[in-house]
Amino acid sequence: MNDIRHWVATATRAANEGRWQEAEQAWRRVLALDPKHPQALYSAGVHAFQRGRMDEALQALRAARAAAPGDPVILLSIAAVHRELGNSDAESRAIEASLAADPYFLPGLLAKAALLERLGQAKAAVGVYRNALKVAPPESRWPPAQRDQLVHGQALVQRFGMELSAYLADRTDRRMTALSPFEAERWREAGAIVSGQSQAYPSICNQLYVPRLPAIPFFDRAQFDWVEAVEASTEAITEELRTALSAEGEEFRPYVAYAPGTPVNQWQELNHSNRWSGYTLWNNGDPVKEHLERCPRTVQTLQQVGQVDIDGMCPNAMFSALAPHTHIPPHTGDTNARLVVHLPLIVPDNCLYRVGFEQRRWKVGEVLIFDDSIEHEARNDSDELRVVLIFDIWNPLLSEGEREMVREITLARREFDFR
């Protein structure tokens, strides 16, 4: 037994160092001592395969399989021999056997997809490539041996997804005309999810999640009777903004400001950076009195809206300034009990906002009302500053009684944390 262990260690070390002949000789010593040693039989089969001796390789690999019937690597090596011999049926059986042993065996999934592609079954191959991409590690950690196959599979999946998306759009465009704009956007998103061009975006809350509220990215402006008054105040609010920018520009503080030692995740680039800054009017329910006094028309306008009031969380309002060529990465907000409103004030070209599946461009004086518990991000790809007034309101799908529940449960949580 000690001799076997010695020669296994010798063979393994030689193989790891690229000394193949020495490794092969060591494995032969192992087989002389134990003719049914699975690792030695497997290695004998691989060495024969590399020399082009397919019959010898198949014989050794079959013996290795008999010694270790559940090893997917041995089964996949048998498939590789059959591929070289041009026996697609036997190759397929060996691949399926490797996946029966381990359904999440990445090399087996890639081998199956490649075989289907060679046989002209591209759509079936796409389905298997899709499964392989699901079980593969993140792209940055793809195994070098499988990277080229994964890149190829990813490209094929994307191409077929785009083709399916175009096909679905062609089939459904006529029926879209019978839908409202809200309904049409929902079904465009459904088509994007079906074709793999998008994903489902649920409501994800950092503090309070209200169950059974629909995750609606953008709300219809017509649902809110204050929209016209807010938009009519755009010019006056912009004047107050410009005063703040010129006279108190230093009071635009970084919006992302984590304390040292706090994990910053996607915020590393913007942490304590003025590239995304805010001139705060209310912060988590606390008024910034000196700023409110300098912006009376803005305050008057917001009072017409009826801001959400949740202890320690809302209202919030600020002028949000996004520097040129700055990206706010995907993130989610505190609660779906409230909605967030943007009143665009200074908007250069090449600015984009996404909530879930939907993308919008800010238009000066035209509010956007959205659920920030859905993943969202913003871009300013222009050479100029972009500024919007941000404030929050109640989610209109909550009754007054439910709003009281939001207040009560939030207050109780804070009391519990600090009692």
pLDDT, tens digit, 9 for 90 and up, residues 68-126: 998 999 999 999 999 999 999 999 999 999 999 999 999 999 999 999 999 999 999 99
C-alpha 364/C-alpha 230 separation (Å) is 12
Q: Confirm if 27 and 44 have CB atoms less than 8 A apart.
A: yes
What confidence category does residue 249 fall into, taking pLDDT thresholds of 50, 70 and 90?
low
C-alpha 360/C-alpha 196 separation (Å) is 21
Residue with tokens 């060529």: 325
For the chain, the residue count is 419
pLDDT, tens digit, 9 for 90 and up, residues 350-399: 999 999 999 999 999 999 999 999 999 999 999 999 999 999 999 999 99
Residue 277: what pLDDT? 96
Which domains does the chain show, CATH number per domain? Answer: 2-158 (1.25.40.10), 221-418 (2.60.120.330)
Reported in sequence order, the residue ranges of 248-294 that DSSP labels E, i.e. its strands, are 253-254, 276-283, 286-287
pLDDT, tens digit, 9 for 90 and up, residues 147-166: 999 999 999 999 999 999 99
Question: Which pTM does this prediction carry?
Answer: 0.81
pLDDT, tens digit, 9 for 90 and up, residues 31-54: 888 888 888 888 888 888 988 999
Residue 248: what pLDDT? 61
- Is the pLDDT confidence value at 8 over 90? no
Q: Over pLDDT 90: what percentage of the chain?
A: 80
- Is the pLDDT confidence value at 1 over 60? no
* Weakest mean pLDDT among 29-38, 319-328, 406-415: 29-38
Cβ burial of 200 (10 Å; 0-12, 13-18, 19+) is exposed
Which residues, other chains included, contact 227 with Cβ-Cβ below 8 Å and sequence gap of 6+?
A: 221, 367
Of 14, 41, 39, 38, residue with least CA distance to 26: 14
Which residues, other chains included, contact 328 with Cβ-Cβ below 8 Å and sequence gap of 6+?
A: 270, 276, 322, 377, 378, 379
Residue with tokens 């089964």: 75
